[in-house]
Amino acid sequence: MTGGLNTEKTHPLAVSDLFVVIIAGIGLLLSTLDTGIINVALPTLVHVFHSSLTAMSWTITLYTLALTGTIVLFGRLSDRYGHLTVYVLGLILFALSSMLCGIAQSVSELIAFRVLQGIGAAMLQATSAALITTIIPESRRGPALGTLGILLGLGPVLGPSVGGTILSMVSWRFIFFINLP
């Protein structure tokens, strides 16, 4: 008798599974890392753009609103058009908008590009777990989803440290350029 415990045997991740987890995890990690990074950078951005903290906080608020306001939409679109298609488009949009954030010349530009970045983040977050559940066999999904969960948790935790390190060593622009590789 198992006492109600799930005794289904899980298998270790195969190399191909690990590739899927890394691809899905990178987008998830970067999209969650960005929130913490910019929180630390707000005083620097206020100074650089000769702005107020209130105006600069819109970079966080609108990123979050764009992400939360579109994540369900992109989940539905990925069900219809393919999880990988939406994920790849999201990764492209996220990288492109990160580059644009990094070269922004005004608060308005930075805010607008952060909205685009939030939409790209929604595309990534809506499809990351779906990629794993549709590509990786059920017997190996547990470790894959567990690894994805770790990456999801690491983003907000590492964001402030990574942001502080970047700001102390190089230009503020690299808090966005970090998303490009």
DSSP string covering 93-150 = HHHHHHHHHHT--SHHHHHHHHHHHHHHHHHHHHHHHHHHHHHS-GGGHHHHHHHHHH
Task: Specify the pLDDT at position 76.
Answer: 97
Going by C-alpha positions, the residue among 103, 74, 99, 93 that lies closest to residue 27 is: 93
**Spatial CA neighbour of 92 closest among 81, 102, 84:** 84
Task: Annotate 34-95 with DSSP letters as a single string.
Answer: HHHHHHHHHHHHHHHTT--HHHHTHHHHHHHHHHHHHHHHHHHHHHHH-HHHHHHHHHHHHH
Q: What pLDDT was estimated at residue 1? A: 47
SS3 11: coil
Residues 53, 46 contacting (CB under 8 angstroms): yes
Sorted by where each starts, the structural domains of the chain and their CATH numbers stand as: 15-178 (1.20.1250.20)
> Looking up tokens 């808090």, which residue turns up?
175
- Give the pLDDT score at 174: 96
- CA-angle at 109, arms to 127 and 165, nearest 5°: 70
- Which one-letter DSSP state was computed for residue 12? P
138 neighbors 19 (Cβ within 8 angstroms): no
Q: What are phi and psi of 4, to 5 degrees?
A: 85, 0
pTM for this predicted structure: 0.88
Tens-level pLDDT at each residue, the chain (181 residues): 455 555 556 566 677 788 889 889 998 899 889 888 999 999 999 999 999 999 999 999 999 999 999 999 999 999 999 999 999 999 999 999 999 999 999 999 999 999 999 999 999 999 999 999 999 888 888 888 998 899 889 988 999 999 999 999 999 999 999 999 7
